[in-house]
Structure 1
Amino acid sequence: MFVTELRFDCYADTTVSLAEKAINNLLEAWRANGQVMGREFAVALHEGSFRVRLLLPETQSLANRFNSPWAKQALHALADAKLLAPREKLLGQDINSEISCEESPSWQLLYTSYVHMCSPLRSGDSLLPIPLYRIPATFNGDHKQLIRWQTEWQACDELQMASATAAEFAALHELSDTSSDLFRRGWDLRGRIEYLTKIPTYYYLYRVGGESRKAETQRGCPRCGSKDWRQAEPILDLFHFKCDHCRIVSNLSWDFQ
């Protein structure tokens, strides 16, 4: 990913509240379309202009051709706050994040964790993140529902990793059970993406616990019960199970790795 700085200059007298509302509206529109990463954006007022640093999947992520209808409307609305269109200065590649997938994958999957800020859509060939704005909008002109699902998945992941409260068990249910609301919504989004992209798209089902390593290696697909989903070698050194019928991938329980 890449770090860029945007500068919003005023062309007439305005107020901080008007500028704040217009700029944040644009940033949220870009975030909902996968054009900027992260959840919080620090906007600074410096020498009469507003500046913000953003994390982008690619150097050209803010190009107009990728903008959603909401982002295009938000850009036009800057004028109501007496702001010019932002000037962009690319600062360089972020050394703490992954590069984006540049090639069309043979298959893809929804995979994230609480430590990842990148796109939850990954290449099945390399596990590199695929920028969401490069695929057709999933719902209502952008990918807001997919970003929301990712945020909730990461929140559950952080709770179960902390292992500090009873909420751990509810969070683990959402991550690892095919009857959970989180799975249902994510699996439906997966299907929508597959329909739009015409690329086989899978859902990563988190797995921890189990009775024994032997029982774990022999468990069937949690949706159809097939035992054929066990792989001879883990895919990408991570996924020991893959059901092509149910479009699910999973890991050998972390308790037995």
Structure 2
Amino acid sequence: MYVSEISFECFADTTISEAEHAINYLLEAWRQNGQVLGREFAVALKDGVFKVRLLLPEENSLANRFNSPWAKQALDELKHAKLLHPREKLIGLDINSETSNSEMSSWQLLYTSYVHMCSPLRSGDTLQPIPLYRVPATFNGDHKQVIRWQTEWQACDEIQMASASAAEFAAVNELANHQSDLFRRGWDLRGRIEYLTKIPTYYYLYRIGGSSKQAEMDRCCPRCGNPDWRQPEPLLDLFLFQCHNCRIVSNLSWDFQ
């Protein structure tokens, strides 16, 4: 990932509220297309120039060819707030984040956690994140639905990791139950991405609990009952189970790792 500073200069008198609305509208459009990462952006004003530092998947994530219709509209509307087209200054590589995948993958998967800010679409060969804007828009011109699913998954993951209330059980059900609403939406998005990219795309089904390690080793695919989905060795050191029929990967229960 890369850190970049974006500057918005005024070409005429404007108000902070008008500029704030226009800038945040653009930032949200970029975020919902996977071009910028994170959820909160600090916009500073100094000497008539608004500046914001962003985390990008790649050096050229904000190139016009990657912009969604929403982002293009937001860029065009900057002039109504008396703002010039944004200028970008690349700060450098973020040493605390992952490197985006740059090669064509033989397969891919939807996988995230509450500590990850990167794209939830991962290469099945390396587990590196694949920038969402590099695949065709999933719905309505961008990847808003994928980002929303990721936000919900991460929220459930953070609740279950905290283990501080009864909400933990509801959160784990959403993550680990193949009949949950979260699974259904994510699995459908997975199918949409596979259809658009023509690359086999899997869904990560979280697994915790179980009566014993042996019972876990012998468990079948929860969706179709496939008994032969256990792999000789964990894929990417994480996923011991892979069902090609259901396009699901899963881990050996974390209770027995």
Q: CA deviation at 1:140?
A: 0.2
* Matching residue of 1:102: 102
* Matching residue of 1:3: 3
d(CA) in 1 for partners of 2:117 and 2:68? 20
d(CA) in 2 for partners of 1:174 and 1:67? 32
d(CA) in 2 for partners of 1:215 and 1:207? 13
Q: How does 1:207-218 map to 2 (within 5 A)?
A: 207-218=207-218
Give yes or no for the alignment of 1:148 onto 2:148: yes
Tell me the SS of whatever aligns to 1:207: coil
* Matching residue of 1:116: 116
d(CA) in 2 for partners of 1:233 and 1:66? 38
* Matching residue of 1:79: 79
Partner deviation per Cα, 1:86-110 (whole Å, 9 max, x = no partner):
1100000000000000001000000
Give yes or no for the alignment of 1:189 onto 2:197: no
d(CA) in 1 for partners of 2:111 and 2:58? 19
Q: CA deviation at 1:162?
A: 0.3
Tell me the SS of whatever aligns to 2:199: coil
d(CA) in 1 for partners of 2:193 and 2:39? 23
Tell me the SS of whatever aligns to 1:156: helix
* Matching residue of 1:161: 161
Give yes or no for the alignment of 1:236 onto 2:239: no
d(CA) in 1 for partners of 2:104 and 2:72? 27
Amino acid corresponding to residue 77 of structure 2 in structure 1:
A
**Runs of 5+ consecutive residues of structure 1 not aligned to the other structure:** none
TM-score (norm 2): 1.00
d(CA) in 1 for partners of 2:237 and 2:115? 19
Tell me the SS of whatever aligns to 2:149: helix
Amino acid corresponding to residue 39 of structure 1 in structure 2:
R
The count of residues paired between Structure 1 and Structure 2 equals: 257
Amino acid corresponding to residue 221 of structure 2 in structure 1:
C
Task: State percent identity of aligned pairs.
Answer: 78
Amino acid corresponding to residue 75 of structure 1 in structure 2:
L
Tell me the SS of whatever aligns to 2:4: strand
* Matching residue of 2:88: 88
Give yes or no for the alignment of 1:224 onto 2:248: no
Partner deviation per Cα, 1:169-192 (whole Å, 9 max, x = no partner):
000000000010000000000000
The alignment yields a C-alpha RMSD, in angstroms, of 0.3
Amino acid corresponding to residue 164 of structure 1 in structure 2:
A
d(CA) in 1 for partners of 2:44 and 2:100? 28
d(CA) in 2 for partners of 1:46 and 1:129? 35
Tell me the SS of whatever aligns to 1:37: coil
Amino acid corresponding to residue 83 of structure 1 in structure 2:
L
d(CA) in 2 for partners of 1:227 and 1:154? 29
Q: CA deviation at 1:135?
A: 0.2
d(CA) in 1 for partners of 2:236 and 2:78? 44
**Runs of 5+ consecutive residues of structure 2 not aligned to the other structure:** none
d(CA) in 1 for partners of 2:31 and 2:218? 41
Q: CA deviation at 1:47?
A: 1.0
Partner deviation per Cα, 1:147-204 (whole Å, 9 max, x = no partner):
0000000000000000000000000000000010000000000000000000000000
d(CA) in 1 for partners of 2:71 and 2:120? 21
d(CA) in 2 for partners of 1:126 and 1:81? 44
d(CA) in 2 for partners of 1:247 and 1:157? 21
* Matching residue of 2:23: 23
d(CA) in 1 for partners of 2:154 and 2:173? 13
Q: CA deviation at 1:56?
A: 0.1
* Matching residue of 1:44: 44
* Matching residue of 2:199: 199
